[in-house]
Chains A and B, each alone.
Chain A
Amino acid sequence: EAQVTQNPRYLITVTGKKLTVTCSQNMNHEYMSWYRQDPGLGLRQIYYSMNVEVTDKGDVPEGYKVSRKEKRNFPLILESPSPNQTSLYFCASSLSAGPGANVLTFGAGSRLTVL
């Protein structure tokens, strides 16, 4: 089944403890992206990647890192999480950047709580 898989789906952690949210897609998509969803703010883009080894900042990149060493994987790294990073995170992918990038396939989400 074509899908975007995120792990973990739920995580409670403490301030400063490094964590990684993994994202993997099996559709051979070039474009991948991370969003966070907060009440009243919709989905805000954190980082995106147009292809392997190519990443760029979205609208809210502070406090996050990403890497794209392989086409299928796009992990989101929080080096030193803080409570304001408590949110619902979505990974998404698309066949290509440009007009095709608009049709994103989303993962099921990862709910992160930082105490």
Chain B
Amino acid sequence: GQQLNQSPQSMFIQEGEDVSMNCTSSSIFNTWLWYKQEPGEGPVLLIALYKAGELTSNGRLTAQFGITRKDSFLNISASIPSDVGIYFCAGPYGNKLVFGAGTILRVKS
């Protein structure tokens, strides 16, 4: 099936640092989504992107829908300990929603 390539696989950063992660696909997507999963919980939607080139913010999080429609980026500014979790990109493929493998974020305080 369709695969989304997400990188990096994991990050261990110092509190206060900025974080960047990205997701690429071999196919064009019309929507890009970013979810966060905290330990012991299901994923929760952070940001949804619906137009190529779109830049959307949610607090310290900013996500961009790549111009080619084959990639998306998520940035977290001034990380804090509660940013810990797994971040997934996702996109619709027919009636399915496909996910990347996730970026594990750990924050050192």
| B73 close to chain A: CB less than 8 A | no
Q: Which B residues, 56 to 109, have Cβ-Cβ distances below 8 Å to chain A?
A: 88, 90-92, 95-102
Q: How many residues of B contact A (CB 8 A)?
A: 26
CB-defined contacts of A107 to chain B, threshold 8 Å: 42
A33 near B97 (CB under 8 angstroms)? yes
Give the distance in Å from the alpha carbon of A56 to the alpha carbon of B95 in the complex: 9
Across the interface, name the chain A residue whose C-beta is closest to B31: A102
Cross-chain contact of B101 among A33, A40, A48, A56 (Cβ < 8 A): A40
Q: A42 to B100, Cβ gap below 8 A?
A: yes
Cβ-defined contact, A58 with B96, below 8 A: yes
Report A36-60 residues with CB < 8 Å from chain B CB.
40-45, 48, 50, 56, 58-59
B24 within 8 A of partner (CB): no
Q: Which residue of B lies closest to A44 (CB)?
A: B99
Residues of A within 8 A of B98 (CB): 45, 59
Q: Closest Cβ of chain A: how far from B9's Cβ, in Å?
A: 8
B33 within 8 A of A: yes
C-alpha gap A104/B102 in the complex (Å): 17
Residues A106 and B44 in contact in the complex (CB < 8 Å), given A41-B101, A43-B99? yes
Q: Is the CB of A102 within 8 A of B100?
A: no
Closest to A90 in B: B42
- Known pairs A92-B42, A107-B42; A99 contacts B92 (CB<8 A): yes
* CB <8 Å contact, A108 and B40: yes
B residues at A contact (CB < 8 Å): 1, 4, 6, 9, 31, 33, 40-45, 48, 50, 88, 90-92, 95-102
7 closest A-B pairs by beta carbon, nearest first, are A106-B42, A42-B101, A43-B99, A59-B1, A42-B99, A42-B102, A106-B43
Residue ranges of A at the interface with B (Cβ–Cβ < 8 Å): 4, 33, 35, 40-45, 48, 50, 56, 58-59, 90, 92, 97-99, 101-104, 106-109
